[in-house]
A and B are shown apart, each in its own frame.
Chain A
Amino acid sequence: MLDDFEMVAGVEVHTELWTKTKIFCGCTTEFGGEQNTHVCPVCLGLPGVLPVLNRQVVEYAIKTGLALNSEIAEFSKFDRKNYYYPDLPKNFQTSQYDLPICIGGHVEIEVDGVKKKVGITRAHMEEDAGKLVHSGATISTSDTSFVDYNRTGVPLLEIVSEPDLRSIDETVAYLEKLVQILEYIEVSDCKMEQGSVRFDINVSLRPIGSDKLGTRTETKNLNSFSSVRRCLEYEIERQAEVLREGGKVSQETRTWDEAKGITLSLRSKEEAHDYRYFPEPDLVPMLIDREWVERVRQTLPELPDARRLRLMGLGLSDYDAGVIINSKALAEFFDAALAQFNDAKTLVNWVTGDFLGTLKAKGLPVQLSPVNPEGLAELLNLVAKGTINGKIAKSVLEEMFATGKGAAQIVQDKGLVQISDEGAIAAIVTQVIEANPQSVADFKAGKERAIGFLVGQVMKASKGKANPGLVNKLLQEQLAQL
């Protein structure tokens, strides 16, 4: 970070909404179809076609607004944003200008233990553009360019933040939190690698202590948190250098070169588009019924912050609760397991430890885990009842991942039931003491660590099945009697 300047950033987040069909026609929104197969006269913008608004888009926008603490407009409309680009078949984008569907709101973030509310300015609905495929690197250096209109008309929600972000960490924390909320409320698949979520970053610098905003730049179309981080690192250093040399940052739109790790000027303020917004005459304004908003509110799931507080109420640490709620899938896994094994603290140790570790090693997402929540709960219940000990449980879990079999089944098949019979364990202890006179002598001479070796020998002799507590107790007793 800089020590002479403070950064001020705001972000525009474009998220594709997870509807089955496009915003103004019946074409599928599915990603990755053969080029120009998910198209019809309407999304191709052919002469004479008219848009018909997909109600689900509005519902998802309302749901997002509610999750972001926004006010849902009672009266909202679409406008045309006019500009020429070959990925835009009508050469205007149907978007929202002065009467967006969501007004205001905030998202709470936490960086280094400090909580902060980041303001939301607005969120509005619009249509996505198509995709250009160039024969060269860019449109201006290519002999030929092709357009794939499959993405044209996929619904987007653009969520605009206030310029409330003061560090790179805050910016990334805000974006992570926002994406987490979108994932929780299931309005977007949030597949960033497929461009489902894209970020435009506005950033400026000002001398520390100043309350005047500096001149900002906007860098468009970043599609990962790490790109945002790298882009901001580059851009604020670039701006700082300009300012330190007594220069002025020019207000402009920039683009991020992922390979080179630099931002490049795209167009200056003077070259900025005049979008000539005006109300979309082919759509009627929307009157958004309050009853509808309330019905949507009822469908909101428990949001990440509320979930974290509930888990902390069950005794989880702030850190562990954070790990669990980070992904909705993991949080749901945790809750489902908790329903059948009610020791949250033990559960979280297993989930964040062996369970996630194994998944990570196998490169699997939670959704594709071979061990389901009920299976994990079954295993932990076997430990709790003393049927198996913790060490055996770890190997059983491995076996569960490998074979998909249930915990009780594995324990039974492999004869892994814990030995808690004092007589049986005492006999093994006696044998081990007899077989290891040197260790016994060491222990007697005050080498406390020697008992660890003896415990290990007992466990080994019992094939790991001996109840470790009893082994410790009986070993101590017999040694004391020598």
Chain B
Amino acid sequence: MTLTELTAHELHDRLSRKETSAVEIARAFTQRIEAVEDSVQAYNLLTGERAMAQAEAIDAKLARGESIGALAGIPMALKDNMCTEGIPTTCSSKMLQNFVPPYNATVVERLAEAGSVVLGKLNMDEFAMGSSTENSAFKQTCNPWDLARVPGGSSGGAVASVAADEAVFSLGSDTGGSIRQPAAFCGVVGLKPTYGYVSRYGLIAFASSLDQIGPITKDVTDCALVMNTIAGHDPKDSTSAPVDTPDFTKYLVNDIKGLRVGIPQEYFGSGLEPEVAAVIKAAIAKLEELGAIVDECSMPHTEYAMPTYYLIAPAECSSNLARYDGVSYGYRTEGATDIINMFKKTRSEGFGPEVKRRIMLGTYALSSGYYDAYYLKALKVRTLIKQDFDRAFAKFDVLLSPTAPTAAFKFGEKSANPLAMYMSDICTVPANLAGIPAISVPCGFANGLPVGMHLMGKAFDEGTLLRASYTFEQNTEHHKAKPKLGVS
């Protein structure tokens, strides 16, 4: 097995045993990126020199006989909406094409302390708005399993890079499914933590009350290791929960006997592809075989999750993205006639169509005379959706659904129809509205394309999600499958 195919914990073992060096690993990834990046197009920016310096620092530590942390010397990459000091952070938008942050996001600081090697910044849907990464202003990231298909989105680059062995792991962000849906499409593990578990400081906001950073990894063990590094209270983020974080690896237990798994019927609606449904059905059977107690349940407000999301997220986005006006950073139009004209032209030219669509939706929803009917109503329905989860979690430890109703679709298949694209997140959005953790785990293939099993848990109960996912993974082979990219 080549170095680039290994997980973080496997690489850590080899580093600790001095069977390889951080520089050797970094070099392997540089070569792998050179070999496949033309096909995959995951990266907006490569930071090879910095990565090599970080790797050398880890090797120096090892040479001094010091012990290193689990993620030290492990090459990873960041979705391009996490601020990196001195390194462009673009949100895959023309608006921020030349923006170089003067500060690091908290997660970036934590990874630096952990000694991770940062390979670069990853492509995404512009400002994290989209489900296919086709909304990037810069490039089209391909699904490593089928280059004619989308990797999912909005964390398309983050997921494709891990699936294509261009990074050991990556960090994505998830506002309505942007980690989990692409993780399902590309056959990797993606966790959206509980809202408030991981600091949002330095994550360029899309929808503040929904956004959450999370790990994208090759297996569940790595997911726990990354959580150990990035989770925890941050005084710079007022919405960060003041809770102690456990050692997430303690939940990596191969045992789900007696685990109560609820199957919410509303997540298996008419848009679900039969091939995907069959794979999920088999996964449920596997869990039962492993000792889980599975039962159907109903979450009656699920049908309102999408409309609720498409009021709250655009409303927040319309305000969060108001700052991109050309005044002090980012794109500014040429030859504006006055200040209002400068604002209008800058924003007309700097944003892509999906971003504009959501800004307009959100502006409308917050407008005088419409606020009560739209935004306020959406907040109330959000509470009802949370209550659905509270009731379900009184009976079940986790809730299971497909991560997405379909496997990866072809480029252009849905980009002309925003509503069809939005439905790709129908299973993932409710967890964001409720603020609960949810994970997508590879569970099989439909027509040769990966399918993800979606598990949702109680707030701050990532542990149970990890235990269920780990047990499933240890007893199946799906996560070991690799896409054939036509290179070795």
Contact = CB atoms under 8 A, between A and B. Distances in A.
A86 B202 CA distance: 23
A281 B238 contact: no
A100 B340 CA distance: 32
Q: Is the interface of B mostly helix, strand, loop or mixed?
A: loop
Interface in B80-106: 81-83, 89, 91, 96, 99, 101-103, 105
A86 B83 contact: no
B204 interface: yes
B69 to A, nearest CB: 25
Contact of A84 (B83, B202, B322, B371): B322
Contacts of A50: 200-201, 236-239
B83 A45 contact: no
Contact of A86 (B103, B236, B322, B327): B327
A389 B6 CA distance: 100
B317 to A, nearest CB: 11
Given A48-B101, A51-B238, A276 B319 contact: yes
B324 to A, nearest CB: 8
Nearest to B312: A281
A470 interface: no
Which of the listed residues A49, A139, A282 has the most CB atoms from chain B within 10 Å of its own CB? A49
B375 interface: yes
A281 B316 contact: yes
A282 B375 contact: no
A147 B316 CA distance: 26
Interface string A139-156: 110000101000000000
A274 interface: yes
B80 to A, nearest CB: 11
A307 interface: no
A52 B239 CA distance: 9
Interface string B358-398: 00000100111001000100000000000000000000000
Interface stretch (A89-97, A183-191, A258-266, A416-424): A89-97
B268 interface: no
Contacts of B103: 41, 46, 49
Interface in B59-116: 81-83, 89, 91, 96, 99, 101-103, 105
Interface in A153-208: none
B371 A278 contact: yes
A47 B105 contact: no
Contacts of A277: 366
Given A44-B328, A47-B204, A89-B328, A52 B99 contact: no
A436 to B, nearest CB: 85
A80 interface: yes
Contacts of B209: 281
Contacts of B105: 48
Range class of the A interface residue count: 20 to 34
Interface in A40-62: 41, 44-53
B201 A147 contact: no
B208 A92 contact: no
A215 B238 CA distance: 42
A283 B238 contact: yes
B339 interface: yes
Contact of A47 (B83, B316, B338, B375): B83
A90 B238 contact: no
A51 B238 CA distance: 7
A274 B370 CA distance: 11
Nearest to B99: A47
A82 interface: yes
A422 B96 CA distance: 95
Contacts of B363: 276
B320 to A, nearest CB: 8
Contact of A48 (B203, B238, B325, B343): B203
Interface in A76-125: 80, 82, 84, 86, 89-92
A277 B371 CA distance: 9
Contacts of B205: 47-48, 282
Contact of B319 (A82, A89, A274): A82
Contacts of A53: 238
A278 B238 contact: no
A364 interface: no
Contacts of A283: 238-239
B319 A48 contact: no
Contacts of A90: 322-323
Contacts of A145: 339
Contact of A278 (B83, B239, B315, B328): B315
B304 interface: no
Contacts of B367: 274, 276
Nearest to B200: A50
A276 B368 contact: yes
Contacts of B328: 44, 89, 147
B364 to A, nearest CB: 10
Contacts of A46: 83, 101-103, 329
Contacts of B200: 50
Contacts of B307: none
A48 B83 contact: yes
Contacts of B81: 48
Interface in A323-376: none
20 contacts: A46-B329, A47-B91, A47-B204, A47-B205, A48-B83, A48-B205, A53-B238, A86-B339, A90-B322, A91-B322, A91-B325, A139-B339, A140-B339, A145-B339, A276-B368, A277-B366, A278-B319, A281-B239, A281-B316, A283-B238
Given A47-B83, A48-B105, A52-B236, 17 more contacts: A41-B101, A41-B102, A46-B103, A47-B99, A47-B205, A48-B82, A50-B236, A52-B235, A82-B366, A84-B325, A90-B323, A147-B328, A274-B367, A276-B363, A276-B368, A281-B207, A281-B316
Top-6 shortest CB links A-B: A91-B322, A281-B208, A276-B366, A281-B209, A47-B204, A48-B202
